[in-house]
Amino acid sequence: MCGIVGVFARRERVHVETLQRATQSLYHRGPDGQRHWISPDHHIGLGHSRLSIIDLTTGDQPIASEDGRTHIVVNGEFYGYEDIRQQLQQRGHRLRTKSDSEIALHLYEDFGPHCLEHLRGEFALILWDENRRRLFAARDRFGIKPLFYAWVGETLYIASEVKALFAAGVPARWDEEGVYYAMSFGGHQVRTLYDGVFQVPPGHYMLVSDKHLQLNQYWDFHYPPSNGSTPARSDADYAAEFREALEESVRLRLRADVPVGVYLSGGLDSCAVLGLAARHHPDSIKAFTLTFEDAAYDEGPIAREMAAKAGAEFNAIPISQRKLADAFADAITQAETPCVNAHGVAKYLLSRAVRDAGYKVVLTGEGSDEVLGGYPHFRRDMLLYNREGQDAAAVEELLQWLNQHNTVSRGLLLPDGEVGNLDHVKRVLGFVPSWIETFSTRTVKLRPLLADWFQQKYGHREGEYFILDDTDVLRQLRGRDAVHQALYLWSKTVMAGYILTMLGDRMEMAHSIEGRVPFLDHKVVEVIVNQPVSQKIRGMTEKFVLREAIKDIITDTVYKRQKHPFLSPPATLNPDDTFQTFVQDMLRSDIMKSIPFYNQKSIVALLDQLPSMDVGARTAYDQLLMYLLSLCVLQKSFGISSSHIQEPNLAAAAAN
């Protein structure tokens, strides 16, 4: 993995100093070398910050084509690249490196943007095509690797992280609508928190010329219609099909010229990855596990048992609330987005420990819950909207069981408290996915903390979920099972915008760690997408087909255990803890006061009420405080301006 930068100036010249500043800001993504290329006419420049994983000696970038008229920078990994290299050579291409990245350059020469159909892995890339005088940029199918862009005048800046855009000269300013989207809906596929800064959506590519810019989609999930006729198959057949696809994905991701480890929790996903990796790794593989002081959040003993079964070397990384407080600002600065729990900070500390242990590559279990229905809100949808043949009393009993056995998910993955007006969602979809209900209860809790002008300006949008406007509802959702619809919408927002950022790429690359995600191999996903809902959720058992597919390589404890979301203990449970003090001090500070979207007096009143709340209420409110704390960190780290925001005169508006 690496950091990439591109600058395309339609009128001005690209300056080497600009490119160097942007590339250097991504040093953490690629400490093994920073290089750049600028075209002879100085209208295009590419920068690359390298983390060497494959081809340690000749894989420097940017890479040029044989005739020197096409140049590319790549962040990511392409799996199965050896076969493609041979095919390219048979077609007459002369490859300059032994790296996987170069195949994208020559595939583009042969197929243009359709080269993406031939690429398997997690990636973002920027390519300059001198023959067509156009820039081609693309992002992997799921958004595992980030790619942001911004226009300043007639100059396009594009990079792996927003901080590189700021380093290149893009103004750091809040986008008030982006802030509202992030607060209410879990993020946007294109917009960000920052004015004028956008992201290439997952599964899309961008073409830019002197006169034109367009975004095109090249991949999507395509869940089958629920009334489609499919041949009857046994559970064993489905499990074998999924096992074969996942095992191949894990095996491909063990390919590296440096040591490969595994992030291990007590969950089914990472245990499956470890179990399969151990079968194909020549030596005892190293497993890294976070442990917490609070037993309700600590999965260390379960992970240790799994490591022993797999014959892996178990490495525990203990995390205290003090460590979370000390690392919070650095982690959020790397993420460039708000968190709702300090679990991302814990992953940041985990990645640092892995780097210090001498590792550059780890396999992780991210993405499984998103494609296999692992979260409790998907089980709630199954109970609410797949009732055919079910006894109503039994369903209600199971709903109560679900709430009672997922207390740590209160307000985060299951609804807690008042739900806002979601009539618009129900009209469009015919039902309301439980995760949208959950986010709505969070918005209701946050509403009293908003500045009056912000609430008046955006409050009327409550329930108008932008994702429905950005989705081809007729072709992608209509006629699909309710759980599949919920999975689709979650993957388009929370998975790409939060999970793969806060628990993935940013926390790993902050310490130059490449995270590989076998569950988000598109061939694996295409298998599970086309399996029936009953293979994802069976009664109260989530990820049913995965359990059956890997039953032989996991412990009985893991096989029988229900989903436990990876969370760190809430920051505000212990009033005497360092983390609690950090939260209180920051939210009462002038930094919070300078963020125009919130009423600090209301926030302070909430902080004063915390000691009188029960544990459940404090757990539910903790995510709001983490969100606000994150904004304070971003404000302080990047000096984000609010001067362009015009707050309406509420008194004048009321008088009129």
Structure confidence by residue, pLDDT tens digits, 187-198: 778 899 999 999
Tell whether 470 and 554 lie within a shared domain. Answer: no
Spatial contact of 53 and 257, defined as CB atoms under 8 Å apart: yes
Q: Which three-class secondary structure state does DSSP give residue 547? A: helix
Spatial contact of 265 and 299, defined as CB atoms under 8 Å apart: yes
Tell whether 308 and 402 lie within a shared domain. Answer: no
Q: What is the mean pLDDT of residues 359-387?
A: 92
Give domain status of residue 33, yes or no.
yes
Spatial contact of 340 and 627, defined as CB atoms under 8 Å apart: yes
Give domain status of residue 346, yes or no.
yes
Question: Would you say the C-alpha torsion 143, 146, 152, 155 has a positive or negative sign?
Answer: negative
Tell whether 202 and 63 lie within a shared domain. Answer: yes
pLDDT at 327 over 50: yes
Q: Dig out the tokens for 502 from the structure.
A: 């806060």
Cα separation, 198 vs 178, in Å, equals 10
Note the pTM of the prediction, 2 decimals.
0.94
Cα separation, 88 vs 66, in Å, equals 13
CB-CB neighbours of 96 under 10 Å? 15
Tell whether 71 and 212 lie within a shared domain. Answer: yes
Sorting pLDDT into bands at 50, 70 and 90, what band is 390? low
Sorting pLDDT into bands at 50, 70 and 90, what band is 55? low
Tell whether 339 and 301 lie within a shared domain. Answer: yes
Q: Which three-class secondary structure state does DSSP give residue 157? A: strand
Q: Dig out the tokens for 137 from the structure.
A: 């940029």
Tell whether 78 and 211 lie within a shared domain. Answer: yes
Give domain status of residue 516, yes or no.
yes
Sorting pLDDT into bands at 50, 70 and 90, what band is 289? very high
Tell whether 195 and 299 lie within a shared domain. Answer: no
- Please tell me the predicted confidence (pLDDT) of residue 651: 47
Q: Which three-class secondary structure state does DSSP give residue 50? A: strand
Q: Dig out the tokens for 336 from the structure.
A: 């460039």
Sorting pLDDT into bands at 50, 70 and 90, what band is 482? very high
Cα separation, 171 vs 173, in Å, equals 6
DSSP-derived secondary structure letter, 14: P
- Please tell me the predicted confidence (pLDDT) of residue 54: 67
User: How many domains does the chain divide into?
Assistant: 4
Spatial contact of 140 and 123, defined as CB atoms under 8 Å apart: yes
Q: In what order do the strands lie in the sheet with 34-38?
A: 34-38, 44-50, 2-9, 155-159, 148-152, 197-199
pLDDT at 271 over 50: yes
Domain that holds residue 69: 2-217
Beta strands in 367-512 (DSSP E): none
CB-CB neighbours of 509 under 10 Å? 26
Tell whether 597 and 539 lie within a shared domain. Answer: no
> Which residues neighbour 356 within 8 Å (Cβ) at sequence distance 6 or greater?
none
- The CATH number of whichever domain residue 195 belongs to comes to 3.60.20.10
Picking from 490, 517, 540, the residue at the C-terminal end of a domain is 490
Q: What is the mean pLDDT of residues 640-654?
A: 71
Nearest Cα neighbor of 107 from 133, 134, 78 is 78
The radius of gyration of the chain from alpha carbons, rounded to an integer in Å, stands at 24
pLDDT at 28 over 90: yes
Tell whether 166 and 62 lie within a shared domain. Answer: yes
Cα separation, 291 vs 298, in Å, equals 5
List phi, psi (to 5°) of 374. Answer: -80, -25
Give domain status of residue 173, yes or no.
yes
Beta strands in 361-474 (DSSP E): 361-363
Burial 552-577 (b: 16+ CB within 10 A, else e): ebbbeebeebebbbbbbbbbbbeeeb
Nearest Cα neighbor of 34 from 77, 8, 73 is 73
Tell whether 349 and 462 lie within a shared domain. Answer: no
Tell whether 129 and 159 lie within a shared domain. Answer: yes
Give domain status of residue 331, yes or no.
yes
Residues above pLDDT 90, as percent of the chain: 71
Give domain status of residue 121, yes or no.
yes
Picking from 217, 248, 263, the residue at the C-terminal end of a domain is 217
Give domain status of residue 329, yes or no.
yes
Give domain status of residue 653, yes or no.
no
Q: Which amino acid is at 388?
A: E
Cα separation, 463 vs 257, in Å, equals 49
Q: Dig out the tokens for 303 from the structure.
A: 């992970």
Tell whether 479 and 497 lie within a shared domain. Answer: no
Sorting pLDDT into bands at 50, 70 and 90, what band is 464? low
Q: What is the mean pLDDT of residues 93-113?
A: 93
Picking from 459, 490, 521, the residue at the C-terminal end of a domain is 490
- Please tell me the predicted confidence (pLDDT) of residue 616: 79
